[in-house]
A = this chain, B = another copy of it.
Amino acid sequence: MMRIVVDAMGSDNRPQPDVKGAIDAAKQFKDDEIILVGPQDVVAATIAKHGAQPDNLRVVHAGEIIQMSDKPSTVGKDKPESSMHVGLGLVKSGDADAFVTAGNTGAAHAIAMLFSLRRIPNVKRPALALIFPIHEKPVIFLDVGANAEARADWLAQYAIMGSVYASNALGLRSPKVGLVSNGEEEGKGTAVIQEAGRLIKQLPLDFVGNIEPADIHGGLVDVVVADGFTGNILIKTFESATRYLGEVIRKEIKASFISSIGGLLARGAFQRVRQKVNADEIGGAPLLGVNGVVIIAHGSSDAKSIKNAIGQARIAVQGQVVQSITDKMQAFNRIQQEN
């Protein structure tokens, strides 16, 4: 039996998608317990809208609400009764196994790091990992924004954490790891990237070396490592490029009568394309390196995305991701000290 905490006040449209997602998860994963954290009255009223409360769904009160505009640097101190504090606290105390939120990423990161779970021993910095499906296969991409800048040894740790997640949670055997750079040759990249490449090469990982964006879509790797600045820009460029291309296609199809008919006939195909390229299907991004399972879903999540994020949390718990990262980090620390 697993116990998954869900932040009822996370998403942009809270508490509706968060609560509905939790209810749907409770119905699907009957052996598990889903714990909704948020203002008791608000959460109860929202649950009531969806019929009888499932037996394996429980509400834990948390009076304060974190806004998307709240500053990560101060919100930890300012709102000690928030659903993030209470929810992450349940994981820390051992009363729950994982925490899922669609709220302010920076706040979740700061509260987890400074007020509750803290880091896995030897981890320098946590990384936010995005999982997205490329050609039917998941690729894990980190860091997408937990830390804008990264030192070379942090990047090496991202490679380890990403590999653990890929094998333990995504079921990829001996995952291939690539380091994002502005060219595949070894001499390419900033000084930090070059140093990170040298470090990762020494680790017991299947490291393919520097990769370029086309390699990600080409299925060359399972784990993509980048600093948070580059990673964040890369995924946002991917999103905005596909959205832009979609707009241009829509416009051009509408520009003639014949092609409009064509567009209508191909509507099913376009729908399948949207589903494939839509990141919501994946549900959430694990925050790797904190001492407990934390999954951060997109602010715009609907109930289905929240349910998927809960599913992802279950898989991370089942795969013992945190324990495995703990072990690997001990080994990494030994290698570092020997050098």
Chain A residues close to B by CB (< 8 Å): 134, 145, 148-149, 180-183, 188-191, 193, 212-214, 216-217, 228-230, 232-234, 236-246, 248-249, 252-253, 255-256, 258-259, 261-270, 272-273, 276-277
Given A229-B230, A233-B182, A270-B252: A240 and B213 interface contact (C-beta under 8 Å) = yes
Could you tell me if B259 and A273 are in contact, using CB atoms closer than 8 angstroms? no
CB atoms of A269 and B253 under 8 A apart: yes
Neighbouring B residues of A264 by C-beta, 8 Å: 262
Query: Beyond A134-B244, A253-B266: 14 further Cβ-contacts under 8 Å?
Result: A182-B228, A182-B229, A213-B233, A217-B240, A237-B237, A245-B246, A245-B273, A248-B273, A248-B276, A249-B273, A252-B272, A258-B268, A261-B262, A262-B265
Query: With a CB–CB cut-off of 8 A, which chain B residues contact A277?
Result: 245, 248
A244 CA / B273 CA spacing, docked (Å): 11
Q: Do B189 and A229 touch (CB < 8 A)?
A: yes
Taken together as a complex, chains A and B put the C-alpha atoms of A55 and B276 apart, in Å, by 56
Name the distance in Å between A257's Cβ and chain B's nearest Cβ.
Answer: 10
A259 in contact with B269 (CB, 8 Å): yes
A319 to chain B, nearest CB (A): 28
- B230 lies within 8 A of A212 (CB): no
A4 vs chain B, min Cβ distance (A)? 29
In the bound complex, residues from chain B placing their C-beta under 8 Å from that of A265 are 258-259, 261-262, 265
B217 touches A148 (CB 8 A): no
The answer on a CB contact under 8 Å between B270 and A249 is yes
- Cα distance A245–B193 in the bound complex, in angstroms: 29
| A148 CB contact (under 8 Å) in B182, B214, B228 | B182
Instruction: Across the interface, name the chain B residue whose C-beta is closest to A263.
Output: B266
User: In the assembly, what is the distance between CA of A115 and CA of B70, in Å?
Assistant: 54
Cβ–Cβ contact A242 & B245, under 8 A: yes
